[in-house]
Every structure is written in C-alpha cells, then in structure tokens.
Chains A and B, each alone.
Chain A
Amino acid sequence: MVQTLDAPHAAPVAASHRSDIDIRNVSKTFAVDGGTVQALADVSLAVRPGEFISLVGPSGCGKSTLLRLIAGLDVPDSGTVAVDGQKVTKPSLTRGIVFQDHRLLPWLSVEANVLLSLNSVAGAAEEKRTRVAELIRLVGLSGFEKALPHQLSGGMSQRAAIARALAPRPRLLLLDEPLGALDSLTRGYLQEELLRLWEHEGIAMVMVTHDVEEAVFLSNRVVVMDPRPGRVRQIFDIAGARPRQRTERAFVEVKQDILDLLHLHRHAA
C-alpha cells in the first residue's frame, strides 16, 4: 500500500460497524531456554475506530506481544489480526509504533530521525521537510531539530519518537509503555500531551502500560489481562469527558476496581 502525504487516509466513519482492529482467537508461544512459554492463549479483542484503548496486566500477560502482533513485528501461531479488514502479516507505516526505549537512531538528528519515517512515502522532498517541521512543532520540540538523541532528555526523546511515528499519518498508533521510563512529573506532562495528540489526530491508539491511573486518564476502555497464559480478563469502559480529574470519585473508583482485580490475581498466583 502506497501512502502519500497530500492524500491522508479518509477519516474513519464514526458509525462504522467495522472495527479498526479485529483480533480473533490469537495464540502465540515462544521458545525460551529449551522450554516454551505461551504468551497469548485464544485472545480476541476489537478496537473501535478512533478509540483510545489501554492494555494493563502483570508482566508475562502478553500485552506487549499483542501489541507486536498488531504492529506486524511478530505473527500469531493461530488466529488472525486484521486492521481495516486487512490481515496483518508485516509492519506497515499505516500502523505507527512507539517503544519504551525511544529507539531513535543515535547517529541521526531529531529532524533526520523523523524524516526517515517518510523515506518510503511518496511525495516531494520539500513537502516532507514541511511535514517534519510540522510534527516537531506538534510535539513541542521546536529548536531541537538538529540535536542528536543523546543530547535530549528522556521525555524529549519520547516526543521525537512520537513525531516519527505520526509523520507518515498512520491510521493507528501503537504505544508500548511509552512513558514507562520517565520520571513522574514528565510522565504527567506527556500524558496530557498524548491526550492532545489523540484528539488532534483523530486516530485509534493502543497503549500498553503498567500504570493504571495513566490508563484510566487516557482511555475509552481498559483491557485487564491475566498471565500464564496471557488472556483477556476483563474490559472496563471508562466514562467521563476529558481531560479527566484524577481526584474525581468516578475516576478513583474505576481505578480502584482495576487495581483490586490486578491484586486479586497477584494473591491467587
């Protein structure tokens, strides 16, 4: 599929019955030290167009594996992952991904890192440069275009990584613990930034996180997963207009419900 800059994807139809992401009966097993670990067992999940959805759960519940399957970095042993009705078999620029370790190429400037994501996109060089500048402004990194990644703080690196993922106008943004390595203050800022970007872009976002409060703050739905083998335990609908107040009663209650469910599991294990 060839993408172009001047013809972004048609906006998702809000009333569409079709899901943005359709995960059906997916299982995945990894070979580890001679044995095998079942990362996912018969997982099904549908992500709606334009939705912000979070995957939470203890380590080993397969949430990152599920994200990698959606990205096309891994393929399931059985079951299918489809995005917009198309079966996912390999990575695509239509599905942007941000990793916990920002993975900026250390030998390229911020600008060049973002520009690299437009390498396989049709369009004039001038147009691409404009798009890069726009993205750098959008994530608040103006003035740091020429900086090398090692000159940036953790939060700034993650902003650059988000700009790189968004530059080719993906239909979907996958976030693998994007704020996991940041201090709590930077984390709070970037949560609000993510919310702003989600509203600005109008695309679906799937985020893996350890932070239940972060999940409740951002998501339409929070998927709680169980480990060994990884599977969906329960899905929480989060009501309430954004930006949400973290001290509000409804917010605190749903957060507590999710935490209780996670702790319940920990005691049972």
Chain B
Amino acid sequence: MSTAAPTSSPAQTSSPVRPALTRLGRLWRGALLPIALIAIWAAVSAAGLVNPELFSPPQIVLHTAIEDFASGAVPFALAATLLRALIGSAIGISAGFLVGTLLGLSGIARRIGDPTINSARQIALFAWIPLLSAWFGNGELMKITLIALGAFFPMALAAEAGCRNVPVPYREIGRVLELDRLTTLRRIVLPAATPALLAGLELSLNIAWLGTFGAEYLIGTGYINGMGDGLGAYLAAAREFARMDRVIVGVVSLAVVGLALDRAVVLLSRRALPWSRH
C-alpha cells in the first residue's frame, strides 16, 4: 500500500487513521445483528411464511413510519413522552439526591430512614399503581408521580453509598484543613461521590424511561381520561386497532430514544470526571 509513497513510513500514515477505522469497525459490528434480523424478517415475509396482519413486512413498517413521522403523530408522541420522562426524573432524581446525601452524611438519619427506603425499593414500580391511582387519579399527576418514584430509588441509594464511601485519607484532609461541614461537603464529599452519583443518574434515567412508557401504556388509556398522549398511548392505540406496523414503529422509536438518553449520560460522565480517566 505504501510502496508508492516511500517518504512516509507506514507507522506515520497509519497512526492517525487507526482510531477512525476501529470506531467505524465497532459501529459496523454493532449494526451487523440488526441488519441480519431485518434481512431474515424481509425474507420470511416475502416467502409468505407468516400472517402479514400479525407480522408486518418491513416495507409496510417503513411506509407507516414515514407516514406517521410526516403527520406528526410519532414526533408529537415522542415529545410528550420525553417531556414527561424528563419532568418526572428531574423531580425523582432531585429528591433522591437530597435524601441519599442526608442518609450518607448522618448516622441518625440513616438509622431512621434506611429500613423504610430498603423496604420500599423492593416494591416493583408498577405495583404502586393501585395505591397511587387511588390518591392521584389517572391523570398527569399520577404519571409524573410514578416516574419520579422510579427515578428516586437508584439516585437515593447511589448518593447514600457515594457519600458514605469517601476514602478516609480525603476525610482526614478535611479535618487537618479545619474545613467546615458545608465546605467539606462541597469540596470533598460530593466530588468524591461523583462517580457513584453519575452511575445513579444513569440508572435513574433508565428506570424513569421504562416507567414513563409503562405509565402511558397502563394508566388511563381510553377508559376514564381519554387516550392520553405519548408513545405509550400511541402503542396502546396501535395494539387496540391491531396495527402491528405501528407497534413496531413505536417500539423502535422507544429503543432509539432510550439509547440516545443513555449515551448522553455516558458522555456527560466522561466530561465530568477528567481526573478519573487515568
């Protein structure tokens, strides 16, 4: 390859190219399985092996996707779901951070709060629906509450663990520098807890995202408060009308947005922790 360019050694020419190649290679390997699945799906549909009513062929799904994006149905549902997820998780994550930090810092708070939190977090998120819907009805308040509750526990546990596990050598620096409690929290405890906090943030957003869909799908669709909005309602309607093409469009949209959210948090984590890369 480099015989025509004897002036530049292979090592020099390949070093800037290699990272780009591996990134492309990784992307290609990640895409391999979905592409294979779509190919099998297309082949099975084309061969007429399955009922197209239950198993829409790819070209129909693509057509529906374009149609529902153009009409605004999917973008509108996506926006509603995303907004709901962000509001709910912002509330849950803030509350989880405050409660977790308090439990992590204070032994008394921990002895009072830990048993309750550890019992409550064993309850599956959707098992709260009967109780919460009795209090908050089947509207927006109920959905946001459920999402916030889902986001609360991972963040509370991560913040508690992060604040408790600050290495003793760093705590001793706070003591020998005679730092007051607030400065110790700001300069030592919270920065030391940042990796744990970011892991909690990731898990909280993850559960909030699942909870948002569940809330939209399970709570108040069609019967009492009308259809509601969001991807969950879109999917519930698609299923109601046996539109499997729409079901697939909805599921793929959920997956893509969920993945994007997760990537965003990972990217944020890398930027927030320049010191722990080494």
Interface residues of A (CB under 8 A from B): 71, 73, 90-93, 95-97, 99, 101, 103, 105-108, 116-117, 119-120, 148-150, 164
Contact B183 A119, beta carbon cutoff 8 Å: yes
Measured between C-beta atoms, what is the minimum distance from B21 to chain A in Å?
A: 29
Q: Is the interface of B mostly helix, strand, loop or mixed?
A: helix
Is A116's CB under 8 angstroms from B179's CB? yes
Is B169 engaged at the interface, CB distance under 8 Å to the other chain? yes
Are A91 and B178 interface neighbours, CB within 8 A?
yes
Among residues of A, the one whose C-beta sits closest to the C-beta of B194 is A107
* B69 within 8 A of partner (CB): no
Interface of chain A, helix or strand or loop or mixed? Answer: loop
- Given A106-B275, A148-B275, residue A120 in contact with residue B169 (CB < 8 A): no
Give the CA-CA distance A107 to B276 in the complex, in Å: 9
Could you give 18 example pairs across A and B, Cβ below 8 Å? Answer: A73-B172, A73-B175, A93-B176, A95-B176, A99-B169, A103-B169, A103-B170, A103-B172, A105-B173, A105-B187, A105-B188, A108-B191, A116-B179, A119-B179, A120-B180, A148-B274, A150-B278, A164-B177
Give 8 closest A-B pairs by Cβ, nearest first. Answer: A106-B275, A107-B191, A120-B178, A91-B176, A150-B278, A91-B175, A117-B177, A103-B169
Complex partner residue of A107 from B176, B177, B275, B278, CB under 8 angstroms: B275
What residue in chain B is nearest A93 (Cβ atoms)? B178
Q: Which residue of A lies closest to B175 (CB)?
A: A91
| A112: nearest chain-B partner, CB-CB | B187
Inter-chain contacts of A117 with B (CB < 8 A): 177
Instruction: Given A148-B274, A149-B275, answer yes or no on A105-B170 (Cβ-Cβ < 8 Å).
Output: yes
B side interface size, CB within 8 A: 20
Nearest-neighbor residue (CB-CB) of A167 within chain B? B177
CB distance from A6 to the nearest CB of B (A): 19
- Report A205 CB to chain B, min CB distance, Å: 16
Chain A residues in 8 Å Cβ range of B191: 105, 107-108
* Distance from A40 Cβ to chain B, minimum over Cβ atoms (Å): 19
Q: Which residues 134-169 in B have Cβ within 8 Å of A in the complex?
A: 169
Q: Are B177 and A119 touching (Cβ within 8 A)? A: yes
The tally of CB-CB contacts under 8 A between chains A and B is 56
B175 touching A90, Cβ below 8 Å: yes
Given A90-B175, A103-B172, A120-B183, 19 more A-B residue pairs with CB atoms under 8 Å apart are A71-B176, A91-B172, A91-B175, A91-B176, A92-B178, A93-B176, A101-B169, A105-B170, A106-B276, A107-B192, A107-B275, A108-B191, A117-B177, A119-B179, A119-B183, A119-B187, A120-B180, A148-B275, A164-B177
Task: Specify which of A90, A97, A106 lies most central, judged by the most chain B CB atoms within 10 Å of its CB.
Answer: A106
Of all chain B residues, the one with the shortest Cβ separation from A1 is B178
Are B169 and A116 interface neighbours, CB within 8 A?
no
Docked complex Cα distance between A155 and B180 (Å): 30
In the assembled complex, which residues on chain A have CB atoms less than 8 Å from the CB atom of B187?
105, 108, 116, 119
Residues of B within 8 A of A95 (CB): 176
Q: CA–CA, A90 to B174, complex, Å? A: 12
Q: Which residue of B lies closest to A95 (CB)?
A: B176
Give the chain A neighbours of B172 by CB distance below 8 A.
73, 91, 103
**CA A207 to CA B64, docked complex, whole Å:** 77
* Min C-beta distance of B62 to chain A, whole Å: 48
Q: Provide the residues of chain A in CB contact with B194, threshold 8 Å.
A: 107
Determine the distance from Cα of A119 to Cα of B170 in the docked complex, in whole angstroms: 16
A119 to B185, CA, bound (A): 13
Q: In angstroms, how far is the closest chain A Cβ from the Cβ of B159? A: 17
Give bound CA distance, A205 to B179, whole Å: 23
Q: Is the CB of B275 within 8 A of A150?
A: yes
- Which chain A residue has the least Cβ–Cβ distance from B275? A106
- Report the minimal beta-carbon distance from A151 to chain B, rounded to whole angstroms: 9
Closest to A73 in B: B172
A93 CB contacts on chain B under 8 angstroms: 176-178
Q: Which residues of A contact B192 (CB under 8 A)?
A: 107
How far apart are A35's CB and chain B's nearest CB, in angstroms?
22
A92 and B178 alpha carbons, distance in the complex (Å): 6
Report the bound CA distance from A150 to B178 in whole Å. 25
Contact A116 B178 (CB under 8 A): no
For B169, list chain A residues within 8 Å (CB).
Answer: 99, 101, 103
On chain A, the residues within 8 Å of B276 by CB distance are: 106
A174 to chain B, nearest CB (A): 9
Q: How far does the Cβ of A104 sit from chain B's closest Cβ, in whole Å?
A: 9
Q: With the chains together, A103 CA to B188 CA distance in Å?
A: 12
Cα distance A77–B169 in the bound complex, in angstroms: 22
The complex places the Cα of A42 from the Cα of B92 at a distance, in Å, of 56
Question: What is the CB-to-nearest-CB distance from A54 to chain B, in angstroms, rounded to a whole number?
Answer: 21
Within 8 Å CB of A120, what residues of B?
A: 177-180, 183
